Structure 1
Amino acid sequence: MPAKDIYHYAVRNALEKESWKITKDPFILKWGTRDLYIDLGAEKLIAAEKSGQKIAVEIKSFVGASPVADLENALGQYILYYDILSRLESDRRLYLAIRQETYSELFTEPIGKILIENQRLCLLVFDSEQEVILQWIP
């Protein structure tokens, strides 16, 4: 099993502060003979309903030498998880969790904006020190 991202517990705590119930840590995807590991699975019940929202969250720290290389690696992983998750649990939405600093550095400039505009990924932007979610970008 892979090591947890350095911001794993910050994201987990942020989700719990927003009343998400962590149901899987890690969320294991079994596909063929391979096991893949998304960092977290969570659910949130909607009032007066038996079922609610389900999400899977892949956490990325973006602390490498090149933010663009980190983005390329994160996108490859996100696409793989997205495609498998859509077959196994199509009612669960996948999010890429990134720090506010990463969002400001990459997703407010053209290289990141195009990913958001083309709806290539869903982002969960968090504050790692206060352990709170700042934005959900569908």
Structure 2
Amino acid sequence: MSRKNTFHDIVRRSLEKDGWTITHDPLQLRYELGNLYVDLGAEKILTAEREGQKIAVEVKSFLQNSAVSEFHSALGQFISYRTLLDEQYPDYVLYLAVPRDIYTSFFAS
């Protein structure tokens, strides 16, 4: 299992403040070559009349010199995780957490 990302605890606390219950830290995904780990699994009960939402969050800090290289790495992980989540945890939605400045300068353009 890899070391925690620089922003892991910040994302976790933010989810908890928003009412999410962290159910997995990390969320383990099994496949034939070994295991992969999504940073966080979380669940939030919306109301008594609605089912709970379940999310998996992969946290990326984008601290390397090349945002493009980091993006390619994150995209590859995201695709792998989404494929395995669909098989093993079909009720989870996968999200990628990135710093705000990276989101606005790289992802939102």
| TM, length-normalised to structure 1 | 0.76
Equivalent residue number for residue 25 of structure 2 = 25
Question: After the TM superposition, which residues 67-86 of structure 1 pair with which residues of structure 2 at under 5 Å, given as runs?
Answer: 67-86=67-86
Question: After the TM superposition, which residues 1-138 of structure 1 pair with which residues of structure 2 at under 5 Å, given as runs?
Answer: 1-49=1-49, 51-109=51-109
What is the rounded CA distance, in whole Å, between the counterparts of 1:108 and 1:57 in structure 2? 19
Offset of 1:50 from its aligned partner? 7.3
| Aligned amino acid, residue 102 of structure 2 | T
Offset of 1:5 from its aligned partner? 0.2
Deviations 1:91-119 (A, max 9, x none): 1000000111111110232xxxxxxxxxx
Secondary structure of 1:61's aligned partner: coil
What is the rounded CA distance, in whole Å, between the counterparts of 1:23 and 1:49 in structure 2? 21
| Aligned amino acid, residue 64 of structure 2 | G
What is the rounded CA distance, in whole Å, between the counterparts of 1:33 and 1:101 in structure 2? 35
Deviations 1:50-107 (A, max 9, x none): 7400000000000111001100100000000000100111110000001111111102
| Identity between Structure 1 and Structure 2 (%) | 46
In the comparison of the two structures, how many residue pairs are matched? 109
What is the rounded CA distance, in whole Å, between the counterparts of 2:8 and 2:54 in structure 1? 18
